[in-house]
Amino acid sequence: MYDGDIASVLITEQQIGEKVAELAKQVADDYPENGTDLVLVGVLKGAVMFMTDFARALPVPVQLEFMAVSSYGSATSSSGVVRILKDLDRDIAGRDVVIVEDIIDSGLTLSWLLKNLASRNPKSLEVVTLLRKPDAVKVDVPVKYVGFEIPNEFVVGYGLDFAERYRDLPYIGTLDPKVYTS
């Protein structure tokens, strides 16, 4: 599939699976069952694969919510100016909420999202991200759960796209430069 487009496999399907289980254990330990379900907020579309695997790996009941946002900027970097394309279906006031992200690069999108969700008065608000790039340290966003720290390269797969392609790959890889230039 996608023959020749992937330059290298950065994280294998097995490594992803092991990390998802590890993150789920950490989160489950921090949110023991208390009669009120944890709310996972997945950020469309990139976090979909991680969200569904993560929710199934968590041994505590969760409710699934999704948000879609668009950040103005170029195709590969964001500006921090964000517009809501799809909002949550439910009120999160008084709830324990965990934002589920695919990747944090500049951190601008997440920084905006944290402020937006915090203003709805959840009981608690944390972030789990599968991937984090080095630039994320420049913006002060508190991220409690991080899967992998990756180098500053453009990656695809496991939900992450280039021009809406490659989301369906079960692993995370880097793109051959010919894909951008052809």
Q: For binding to ligand 5GP (CB under 6 A), which residues are involved?
A: 46, 71, 78, 102-110, 154-156, 160-162
Give the count of alpha carbons within 13 A of 24, CB side only. Answer: 19
105 assigned to active site: yes
- Neighbour tally for 89: CB within 10 Å: 10
x-or-dash string of contact with Mg ion, 100-129, rule CB under 5 A: -xx---------------------------
Given the residues 89, 105, 168, 176, select the one marked as catalytic.
105
Cβ-based nearer residue to Mg ion, 43 or 49: 43
Note whether 48 binds Mg ion by CB under 5 A: no
Q: How far is the CB of 94 from Mg ion (least distance, A)?
A: 26
DSSP secondary structure letter of residue 107: S
Round to whole Å and give the CA distance between 111 and 109. 6
Give me 78's structure tokens: 């964001």
Q: Which alpha helices (H) appear in the chain, and where do they start and end?
A: 13-30, 48-57, 108-118, 178-181
Cβ-based nearer residue to Mg ion, 61 or 74: 74
How many residues contact Mg ion, by CB under 5 A? Answer: 5
129 interface partner picked from ligand 5GP, Mg ion, none, CB below 5 to 8 A per type: none
Residue that has been written with the tokens 């950490």 in this structure: 26
Contact 91, 120 (CB under 8 A): yes
Q: How far is the CB of 69 from ligand 5GP (least distance, A)?
A: 9
Residues near Mg ion (CB under 5 A)? 43, 46, 101-102, 161
